[in-house]
Structure 1
């Protein structure tokens, strides 16, 4: 690589020193990362260093890694024809001590713990990492839809990218095929661009073709006051109340959450519901658009054992057997159920639990491993990411024109496939502290993904007697003016005149196209209180 092509990113000596060694500009003046200084492979218990054949290829132990530049990224291609491959690690030597803050992402939903933090060597940053030096912001990531689970680690003297190639809890058997593991992209802030603007632009770089709703999405969901104790009668009751606040030209959704189905069969309703097609028609007649919650990987109790995923910690309840998503017959069953909901007349499906059901862990628990070691899928020739992408694609295909909300879905693999994604863990209709922790933090640090990856759903406003209205009213306002989806989960018994007036105003705001809200104090506040919303600065009191 010729040094005259190295990018000069700012007048500061720090930026020139750091970035001239790590990134460069191509002929189109787009920033690319240099070839790595080291490449490692994991096949058994230890990482083995590969030998550099030239600047863009590494090999050893029957494993080949090559890097190929495109106009806006660097493709990582992997071959391992005769071994079970668990992972590839690329290392760029790079002095990072001058960075004061680092922001990473999460595997699936976030868990109230996102923040600009002091860089730590042992922290895994899923999918991408943003670095801040007090003036400029740099981003290192992989494009969405990648075929491996990727994370970045920022160490004092290098940056590392690990591409996990497990299939279940064992290595993948690639055979003779070449795995297009991921595409690396990088950026640095431009002009007077602040950290929020740079991160938002970087999300657009990582996801070139997001799939977005045709209109802003808003409406209701029964979970945070019913918690599964719902019925056809109760859904009709709350839908009738809330339909009064519908905005002409953009009808709200009424999403029926968990509680309608048989325990082991998501193609059949229980005795609390008379008929699911009739339920959808009744919601439409009341002036809303029907939506439905489902758990795709739950198996019927009579499912043949060879279709089930192995029993592991987190996936060992005999009352809730889990389908192996690499079995073609199971994919067809998932598609059948999604198609059935469409036939019933539903216009949105919220599908949940797939990450937990596949790995037996929540994203916050994936600090060391994604899952318990020692097991693999029926199809061990595909990585976990490839198997999940295939399942997501099947759900998308079966849904057709229905909107899809991914919940407990892998964020980087959901982008471009689902119109909406639940970006944080559950808020609450029982305690404000949980809504603040999960909701406010999630919205503050993942709104950069809103309308860049998908419509970013920060979860519901749970309006009940147990959550102080003065706090919920602020959470409602933030969601309504953020430019992201708004869902209200309101107990009819506590809907007084003040609550109804606030919901009516929130629906009117959420139903129209708005700029994505910006947390103005997110560099220093884990639960941002100062926001720029539709051009106006608003300060909230979350405590």
Structure 2
């Protein structure tokens, strides 16, 4: 396996102002291209990386820069191509044949099973642009979306560090999965990783934010502590949505107190969780408020709730104060959620070409969306201190190095197994290579409820526990039996040990979105994910 020197692109194209079609930039000299009001520079760095910086001092603003290579890394056209997702994945990650218009966020990897060769390009984490690739028969293009929200960025005279491109190429002695691991390592030189395996409980997939209070939380804390036994690594008990007014619908802040008459003493609750042998964790939605604030988006309409604009200092100050308050209450893990939706106004299933719709702006037009999101994630990380941070509905490629744990897929389900198969198994297989290289991967909870088949959930539990990734379980007390408790105890203790030595690897992922064959250490596993009727063609919530 080798990291390759990324060559200069063969051409550069830009979209400025109200333009809709890229126009060619002139090559002023090797590594420098110019267009009216725009300068693009590509500089080689150590280990073969290519750093791309932009200047756009004009008043028209800059929307997109496209770098085109008229060849493929490794010198061969791939037969199958894999990309990542903008934020969480939604069950759609898969290897496909060449589809020239298919957006491939952040990185792409191509392989040819007939020769065993694999190669690809990616951009380093915390880029200054929202980056995606397209791959066609003749080459590849990197698309740098440098807009501020959905409007052209106006960076003035400053230099905008848009992206650093890295590449890998491998021969038949390296599997595509190992090649993806190496590409992820090259993209993420400074991951922020938890000191110990992350294991715990979360009641969302049996309570869904409804009709629960401190007694239910403490019952779950007792249960997860019992499953962990005397293991020296203590599990977490996460209080999810439902602890504030309007709970169960992700209602937004203020986050200065719990639901009156129910969660009146959040500091006391954290202490009681700890007293039962678990580490307290807390969920919140940082960029939504039930009342208007100084950070409310300019385009927000009443009567609320009100999305907050993270490009404003007032918003960052409020978010930092919230996270510091949670830490002062005694919570040792903070899960922040929904920020991508609150910035862009949508989720991103199906991998749209761009994250932001045209016209949806941010208050600070001088910074790109990517720069604004990185500043938000950094604010939360700094305010959290020594508490762990989980990003959910966050842009993992921008959050790497600023979160210890990343929810890498959309929700599993305590109501419909099919959703767990589609979301949980897919994200575990196709984003597992990011684990330990970007952050600790969280493929979402393993549900245990009367509405879902434990025989299937148990298989998902087995894989997550063996993988060494973050394992959270959502256990409805009504679903507990001696057999279920024994399964959960074994899985949780394996996960607390760090999983199967050597981890796991999907074996048939070139052929399916939900791999059934896996390698775990020296053992090959086979998991059938099908219900008696096969896969349900719809995806209920």
Q: Which runs of 5+ in 2 are unaligned?
A: 247-252, 531-541
Of 49, 53, 59 in structure 2, the residue corresponding to residue 77 of structure 1 is 53
Of 264, 269, 279 in structure 2, the residue corresponding to residue 289 of structure 1 is 279
Over the aligned positions, Cα root-mean-square deviation in angstroms equals 1.6
Q: Distance in 1 between matches of 2:491 and 2:147?
A: 45
Change (3 A) 1:241 1:295: same
| Secondary structure, counterpart of 1:150 in structure 2 | strand
Q: Distance in 2 between matches of 1:268 and 1:346?
A: 14
1:276-325 per-residue CA deviation (whole Å, 9 max, x = no partner) reads: 10100010000000000000011241424xx32243xxx76743201110
TM-score, normalising length from structure 2? 0.92
Residue of structure 1 in register with 2:12 after alignment? 39
1:332-352 per-residue CA deviation (whole Å, 9 max, x = no partner) reads: 000000000000000001100
Residue of structure 1 in register with 2:513 after alignment? 526
Q: Distance in 1 between matches of 2:231 and 2:448?
A: 24
Q: Distance in 1 between matches of 2:459 and 2:23?
A: 53
Alignment of 1:488-499 (within 5 A): 488-499=473-484
Alignment of 1:220-299 (within 5 A): 220-229=201-210, 230-246=212-228, 247-263=230-246, 264-271=253-260, 272-299=262-289
Tell me whether 1:92 sits opposite 2:69 in the alignment: yes
Residue of structure 1 in register with 2:249 after alignment? none
Q: Distance in 2 between matches of 1:375 and 1:458?
A: 30
| Secondary structure, counterpart of 1:249 in structure 2 | coil
Contact 2:133 2:140 in 1 (8 A): yes
Comparing 295-304 and 248-257, the one that deviates more: 295-304
- 1:97, distance to aligned residue in structure 2 (A): 8.1
TM-score, normalising length from structure 1? 0.92
| Secondary structure, counterpart of 2:317 in structure 1 | helix
- 1:371, distance to aligned residue in structure 2 (A): 2.2
Change (3 A) 1:211 1:284: same
Residue of structure 2 in register with 1:210 after alignment? 191
Q: Distance in 1 between matches of 2:353 and 2:303?
A: 27
Contact 2:117 2:172 in 1 (8 A): no
| Secondary structure, counterpart of 1:173 in structure 2 | coil
Change (3 A) 1:310 1:534: farther
Q: Distance in 1 between matches of 2:433 and 2:517?
A: 16
1:43-81 per-residue CA deviation (whole Å, 9 max, x = no partner) reads: 122312100112211001121001100012110010010
1:154-183 per-residue CA deviation (whole Å, 9 max, x = no partner) reads: 012121001110001101001000111100
Tell me whether 1:107 sits opposite 2:83 in the alignment: no
Q: Distance in 2 between matches of 1:507 and 1:282?
A: 22
Q: Distance in 2 between matches of 1:472 and 1:30?
A: 38
Q: Distance in 1 between matches of 2:364 and 2:495?
A: 44
Alignment of 1:4-43 (within 5 A): 31-43=4-16
Residue of structure 2 in register with 1:511 after alignment? 496
Residue of structure 2 in register with 1:541 after alignment? 528
Q: Distance in 1 between matches of 2:511 and 2:351?
A: 26
Of 348, 356, 365 in structure 2, the residue corresponding to residue 371 of structure 1 is 356
Comparing 237-246 and 139-148, the one that deviates more: 237-246
Contact 1:224 1:462 in 2 (8 A): yes
Q: Distance in 1 between matches of 2:12 and 2:87?
A: 27
Change (3 A) 1:367 1:516: same
| Secondary structure, counterpart of 2:459 in structure 1 | helix
- 1:536, distance to aligned residue in structure 2 (A): 2.0
Runs of 4+ residues deviating >3 angstroms: 95-98, 315-318
Q: Distance in 2 between matches of 1:462 and 1:338?
A: 28
Of 25, 28, 44 in structure 2, the residue corresponding to residue 53 of structure 1 is 28
- 1:231, distance to aligned residue in structure 2 (A): 1.0
Residue of structure 1 in register with 2:297 after alignment? 309
Q: Distance in 2 between matches of 1:302 and 1:319?
A: 7
Residue of structure 2 in register with 1:173 after alignment? 154
Tell me whether 1:413 sits opposite 2:386 in the alignment: no
Residue of structure 2 in register with 1:145 after alignment? 126
1:410-463 per-residue CA deviation (whole Å, 9 max, x = no partner) reads: 011011110000000000000000000000011011100011100000000111
